[in-house]
Amino acid sequence: MMLKALEQFRHRRFRRDLSAYVDDMLSEKARRRLEAHLHSCEACRQELAELRATVETLGSLPMAEVPRSFTLAAPPVAEVRPRPTARRLEFGLRLATATAAFALTLVVVGDFAGLPGGGEQEEEKPSGMLLSANQETPAVAEAVPVGTPAAEETQPMIGAVPAETPAAVEAPPAETPAAVEAPPVEAPAAEETPSAIVGAPAETPEPPGIWSRDVPGVTEGPTPAPAGVEEGVFGFGEQAQDKATVEDAEVDEEADLAPDGAPAVAEEEDGGLSRGDVVRWLEIGLGAGVGILVVLWVTTRFHRGIGDRG
């Protein structure tokens, strides 16, 4: 049973290679394997013969003569395109949007990663070590607006290392209730901290216990939302593709690497999707994803604020 299924699978793979074999486009190894299979598989031999006949027949189609000459009598009028400045502006705006979205994602992911699981972590926190680490790295500004709007004057530095050592570093929320209410996207601490050293967190010693406990929180928190976004975007493309051809869905080319996947989907004209459309949907999807993340983040913050007060 299993063997038969495996045989079927191999057979399908070999069938897929037949076209490239006709054009001598298989690698030496694949070619030899296919030839060995052909030796033992009557169905594949038949299909190969039919495939060759098909190619030959198509090749025998005569080319039509042109009905007239297509030479140009005069240089055509220049195409009306958006002015380069306008296009540059658009590009700049899109780049800015993308950067903002990315930064915002960092903020939220960083913040989720930085959420303390509960009060008991404070006791385990080796604050002395952290302090010295922070003295070495006086400013981790870039991370500040990101990770901790909470960390105002009270603990500007400690909160600044959200990504790498999340729970260990976050200031105890109970001590800074006011900070919790700080507007989420603003970065008040950033003004106090003059420069950015992103590499700094590496020097911060990791408290292993806390780190390991917080890992699930880190991974579970923010990821579902982006995943959903991706599914949404690519699901859309795939629907279009399915409409275009059912066969396409079942036969998947092994040589199609992931980077090819997107453009391939984008090019499925039969679904009425152009590359531009896909980019637009991708942008919309990203925007929606970021929006969901922000809402999640704000909600979590809000709950935490209530919890702290209570």
Partner 1 sequence: MVIADEGQLVQRSQKGDLGAFNALVEAYQRQVYNLCLRMLGSAAAEDAAQEAFITAYRRLDSFRGGSFRAWLLRIAANNCCDELRRQRSRPAASLEAALEAGSPADISSHSAGPEEEALRRELGRHLQQGLAVLPTEQRLAIILRDIHGLSYEELTEALGCSLGTVKSRIARARSRMREYLMARRELLPSQFRLKE
- For binding to partner 1 (CB under 8 A), which residues are involved? 16, 18-20, 22-23, 25, 46-47, 49-51, 53-72, 74-76, 78-79, 244-245, 247-248, 251-257, 260, 263-264, 267-270, 272
Indicate the residue among 19 and 154 with the shorter CB distance to partner 1.
19
Instruction: Give the separation between CA 201 and CA 193, rounded to whole angstroms.
Output: 15
Indicate the residue among 201 and 271 with the shorter CB distance to partner 1.
271
How distant, in Å, are the alpha carbons of 23, 45, 61 from that of 57? Answer: 15, 18, 7
Nearest distance in Å: CB 228, partner 1: 28
* Chain position carrying tokens 């590009």: 91
Task: Give, as one character, the DSSP assignment of residue 185.
Answer: S
Instruction: Give the separation between CA 282 and CA 217, rounded to whole angstroms.
Output: 27
Indicate the residue among 2 and 64 with the shorter CB distance to partner 1.
64
Nearest distance in Å: CB 290, partner 1: 30
Indicate the residue among 51 and 103 with the shorter CB distance to partner 1.
51
Nearest distance in Å: CB 233, partner 1: 20
Indicate the residue among 56 and 124 with the shorter CB distance to partner 1.
56
Nearest distance in Å: CB 166, partner 1: 40
CA dihedral 198, 202, 204, 206 (to 10 degrees): 130
Are the C-beta atoms of 210 and 168 separated by less than 8 Å?
yes
Nearest distance in Å: CB 236, partner 1: 18
Burial class (CB in 10 A: 0-12, 13-18, 19+), 2: exposed
